[in-house]
Amino acid sequence: MEPTVAPHSIQLTDAAATRALGGVLLGWMQQAGQPVLLLRGELGAGKTSLVQGLAAALGIEEPITSPTFALAQHYMAPVGDAMGLVHLDLYRLEQPAAADELFEQEDDEARQLGALMAVEWPERLSTMPEGCWLLELELVDPSNPDAGRSATLHLL
């Protein structure tokens, strides 16, 4: 399955499937030379689980948690020439200007490090950055998080 400009949706049965999708997306991102993945979805939709899958596919063994309070976490790959990961969570930034500033700073740093960047809550930005991939995660049944998720990939 190749990434396309048209949105593509898949069903994810559980958190393990969401993490596995992170590994698949990593391959696509590396193949396309796309270093930024935007993750949109309500609380509990699986954004951090997906980032855990990206990190595992990169060989990063550190525990990956949502950087809600730290805003950004940097994870270096265990092998010198492997890619690292910058994980942003813009949830607490209510002002778009603050979200834009943090995104730009971390994007510059990620590019300098040759790292991928995963951004939770990109809707806090004043505009969606062009040329990025946007993955929308949605609970199939909001009253039952164990019912699975729907994931839709877009190219911005």
Query: What would the pLDDT profile of 136-145 be if each residue is shown by its tens digit?
Result: 999 988 888 7
User: In sequence order, what are the beta bridge partners of 18?
Assistant: none
Over the chain, what is the mean pLDDT? 88
Mean pLDDT check: name the lowest of 93-97, 100-104, 118-122, 129-133. 129-133
**Rounded (10°) angle between helices 15-32 and 47-57:** 60
At 34, the amino acid letter reads: Q
Type and span of the H or E element at 113: helix 96-113
Nearest residue to 47 (alpha-carbon basis) of 134, 141, 156, 144: 134
The domain ranges of the chain are 9-155
Nearest residue to 153 (alpha-carbon basis) of 35, 38, 27: 38
Against a cut of 0.85, is the pTM above it? yes
The CATH architecture of the domain made up of 9-155 is 3-Layer(aba) Sandwich (3.40)
